[in-house]
Amino acid sequence: MRESGSAGRVGRFAVRVRYADTDQMGTAYHGNYFTWFEVGRTEMLRALGTSYREVEQAGVRLPVVEASCRYLRSAHYDDLLAIETTLAALGRASLRFEYRVLSAADGGLLALGWTSHCFLDVAGRPIRPPAFFRELLERTVQA
């Protein structure tokens, strides 16, 4: 697996904390951060010129096989957040995204996280990514 650390291209996307995203204490529920990570990686791929739908139409699935989030500060109802997404590693049949969740108001870091994915065909067997997708991702890692 090639590691790029923070040298890769970063996608930055806004998300507003909805009332439904909060818990009884008025803070964003911890599980929502993983939803926001998904928004980050989906929008990053779209900004690069492809979409999850196109990848799936090419016969590729990208299930999450491992995920982590470190919570540093709370987000609250109606906060505007910036989700920064980086493709941190690209292997022969796997990839890893890293995320930073920031307050758009003050730039403060709220959370750090990552997700690891594998490439599967529609039958659930590990595969290498199609050439078009691998080339797109390699440019991202080297950006």
The CA distance from 98 to 69, in Å, is: 10
Q: Are 139 and 50 in contact (CB under 8 A)?
A: no
Alpha helical stretches, state H, 14-110: 32-47, 52-57
78 in active site: no
The CA distance from 41 to 19, in Å, is: 23
Catalytic residue (one of 23, 78, 79, 121)? 23
Catalytic residues, by residue number, are: 23
